[in-house]
Amino acid sequence: MLTSTSTTGAIQNIEMKVEDNSIKVYANDYLLYQDRGVSGVKTKYNTPHSYTDKKPPVQAIIDWITTKNIQLRDEERYHGEPSKFAHLDDDKKIENAAWAIVNKIYYHGFEGKGYYSKEIPQLITDLKSQFANFCVQQISQQIGVRSDATMVIIS
C-alpha cells in the first residue's frame, strides 16, 4: 500500500461497506484533506479546503514529532553561528519546531497528494468486477454447470 508516505499508519485504516446498494468508503476525516490539499492564507491550491482564521492544532504536530522520534538539530556547522536554541530543553525544542510547522501549514497550506481520488474509483471498479465473477461462479455451481462448458441449457 502507500507505506512510503504513511507517517502514522492511519492512512491505511480504510473500511469499505456495502450499504443501500452502493459501496461506501470510510476513513479518518483528515485523509480527505491529504488527498485534496488545503490552501494556506498566502499560498492557494486548487482545492475546496483552506485555512482562514484557525491554525492546525499544535498538539497534533507535537505528537507527530514525538511518535516519529524526529531529531531536531540547529548546529553551528549548518548556520555558521552558535545555536539560538541550545539553552532550551528537548520539550521546548519540540514545541518550537511544532509551532514553526503549524505556521508553515497555516500560511502556505499543502498540495493534495491525490491518494484516494485516484485509487478509490479503481478499487470500486475492481470490487464490482470481482463481485460479478463471484455471482456467476455461485450460480454456475448451483445449477451444475461444468467449468469447460461453452453453453448452458436450462430446462
Least confident of 72-81, 91-100, 142-151: 142-151
Q: Which phi and psi angles does 85 have, rounded to 5°? A: -110, 10
Domains of the chain, by residue range, sit at 53-108
- Residue 65 C-alpha cell reads as 514529532
- Residue 13 C-alpha cell reads as 485504516
- Residue 104 C-alpha cell reads as 508553515
Threshold 0.75, pTM exceeds: no
Q: How many residues does the chain have?
A: 155
Least confident of 8-17, 22-31, 103-112: 8-17
CA distances from 44 to 31, 38, 47, 96, 137 (A): 19, 8, 8, 25, 51
Cα angle 103, 14, 131; round to 5: 150
The sign of the dihedral angle between the CA atoms of 43, 48, 51, 53 is positive
Radius of gyration of the chain (CA): 25
Residue 148 has pLDDT above 70, yes or no: no
Per the model's pLDDT, the better-predicted residue between 89 and 115 turns out to be 89
